[in-house]
Chains A and B, each alone.
Chain A
């Protein structure tokens, strides 16, 4: 009988190969990949020192926010190292977009981050408008900002529930879903769908504001602040919550910049980088709002920062409603779009950070290359820095505080 490495055994473990004994199969219950290590890092990770063991968290774990698999190397309750394994939700959106025409491509980007779909439409639409040199009507821009900020609130409200759920609180997730459901119903009245809105068009938006949307929005705005504050009161003063989230997963500014972080996760370290101000687009330069920042850079700061952003979004919505101009909602464009050959890069500030699209046109009706940059993808890799040294209970808390959405991570 020849000697077999763990990799050989693992390759046969799932089959009914009689040559593999039960003891050997039992050994392969470790989540060691059934092939030789590809990089030094992988080889280093899959080597156990004394007292360490692997725990395979996901892809069916109750709280990995989608289908994420994290291989944890733990020593007792302490996480020594971890290796996120992606790709369970990979759909090849970029390739599909390159095989669809410009209008169809927006449909594909829509379900990338199903929590905040409007932002996934916004950046490709802006990139295509740059390619086409289209001026978007002002009313359309106002409607975009209005709908986008509503979606941002919905996303942040859901974040609150998720974060609390991963810390063991049962109630906030349902309260935040009440908030989100109201916004989503509102957006359904505006866009026609609850989740994958597909509302932004190249050169404008799909439909004008209607009565149902406005009445729902008015009802909600009158009670939004008090309702959101009351929901947060459960967590913000809760000693257990605060003690768990404070000082957990701390990132300093230099590391955050080094890890290419953007959005609330970067602002929680003290950098007031917000694409809406740093590189203004749409009508944001005309609006009056603040960029909340915090300096702690821990999970609590990230949570509180998002709660502050909800208030700023409410301000923006208020201004949009007050200053909404009349006019067309679509620029005049041909039915079939053939931009001149060229390149365009458009970035927007989403609820999770900077969504960006890099589109290359070759003069046909399909984008030659469409690169989609998703903030969740970039933020998820920081767990490799934040997690080691923490306890298993905190892995989910840290991951939730970074607020990744696996649809966007896996593209």
Chain B
């Protein structure tokens, strides 16, 4: 499957490891990514907070570029970018809004393609059985809290992905990879990322609560699909620890890193060392037992998959 890829600005900076691992796993799973040529910033939260038409124009430029490519669909790893792109696409269905956006652009927009998240494409195009069958190194020993954040599923009418109160796509994926998924009631709670820079107080408290609850339910790491969430929970974990008065020491993985790990990709593709809260001790603890069962690893995840799914449902 050919995908037009919108990496998003953070992929060039704070979430380089997300960008790199996304590219790697897509290749491993048989998706061909082609970057949208000369893509520009979607405007992020500041864009739509100031003006919908401005945000719409910034997103529309990129979707218009993508529409000229020969691809099955347009994807981005970043939920924040996705939210902007999708909102632009949906709002542009109103001719009055489209006119406003067109006024800001060099030329009127063509019919825009519908953008999707890389995650949605993976979980909807591949069955969990197919993914489990590709696992080389089951993530046994990882107790994961799946954190989806607010943008991935909300507002449901626009995002059209998964259950907006209790999404399960990451849970199912991680179970297929052989990890243990802990119950986690704060899956879609907001971490406060959009105020990260300007209001440390708000952000640390909201992030702190998420980390605290993950720890309570026995997680030894958190998995995220959002660069903003990941940065907040990882880079700012010390601030959250300060605010909550306790230590968490929870590595915050991108799901793409764990997927890559399970598929047996090189660390150069995973960039685990980019994570601020070091995952190395945790990952090391996995290695020993994993190697011991390696010969049967292929058959095992399936059986485990089943029992875990039963427990989760």
A and B: interacting chains: no
